[in-house]
């Protein structure tokens, strides 16, 4: 039986409480959001799911529309709860936009998809994070997975 911990209930500061509530819950507390990505002509959307504890981008998609089938699983904190509820994804958006998107003018959707995929791979594997003691999200994520397997 799994314990269900509802984070962000009542608007409490979940940023500080997530690790205290569940210190070994990497891969169990995720955040998801959607943002727009400007291109030379028009824009695309970028959706990502990240692991809260390790900041690893678990998956992402770059659709050209926000149709119901794509957005049905998206949870947006816009206008609800506190800004802290999705702070890690908002930090990811800032990093992607300032370190990648604003430096380029994507000429096509395929160019945007390729460049964003390359940057997210770098973000996970090659970009150290101060909040992770200088490690990359992948280093922390996979080290924690190995620790879990040894404990089992």
Is residue 66 domain-resident? yes
Is residue 47 domain-resident? yes
pLDDT per residue of the chain (152 residues) written in tens, 0 to 9: 333 333 333 333 344 444 454 455 555 688 888 899 999 999 999 999 899 889 999 989 998 887 655 555 445 444 455 556 678 889 999 999 999 999 999 999 999 999 999 999 999 999 999 999 999 999 999 987 666 555 55
What pLDDT sits at residue 53?
87
β-strand pairing of 30-38 with 57-61: unpaired
Is residue 18 domain-resident? no
Is residue 151 domain-resident? no
Give the angle subtended at the CA of 27 by the CAs of 18 and 78, to the nearest 5°: 60
Coil, helix or strand for 75? coil
Domain encompassing residue 83:
24-138
What pLDDT sits at residue 27?
52
Place of tokens 């119901």: 68
pTM of the model: 0.72
How many CA atoms within 13 Å lie on the side-chain side of 60?
A: 29
| CATH code, domain carrying 28 | 3.30.420
What pLDDT sits at residue 9?
33
Give the count of domains, the chain: 1
Is residue 72 domain-resident? yes
Is residue 147 domain-resident? no
Is residue 35 domain-resident? yes
Question: Residue 42: which region, alpha, beta or left (left: phi > 0; alpha: psi -120 to 50)?
Answer: left
Is residue 51 domain-resident? yes
């Amino acid at each position: 039986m799994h314990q269900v911990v509802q984070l962000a209930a009542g608007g409490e500061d979940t940023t500080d409480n997530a690790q205290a509530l569940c210190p070994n819950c990497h891969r169990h507390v995720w955040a998801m959001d959607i943002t727009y990505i400007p291109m030379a002509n028009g824009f695309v959307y970028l959706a990502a799911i990240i692991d809260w504890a390790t900041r690893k981008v678990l998956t992402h998609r770059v659709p050209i529309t926000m149709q119901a089938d794509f957005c049905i699983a998206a949870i947006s904190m816009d206008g609800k709860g506190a800004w802290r509820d999705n702070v890690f994804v908002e930090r990811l958006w800032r990093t992607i936009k300032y370190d990648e998107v604003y430096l380029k003018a994507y000429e096509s959707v395929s160019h945007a998809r390729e460049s964003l995929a390359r940057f997210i791979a770098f973000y996970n594997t090659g970009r150290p994070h101060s909040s992770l003691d200088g490690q990359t999200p992948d280093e922390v994520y996979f080290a924690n997975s190995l620790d879990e397997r040894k404990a089992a």
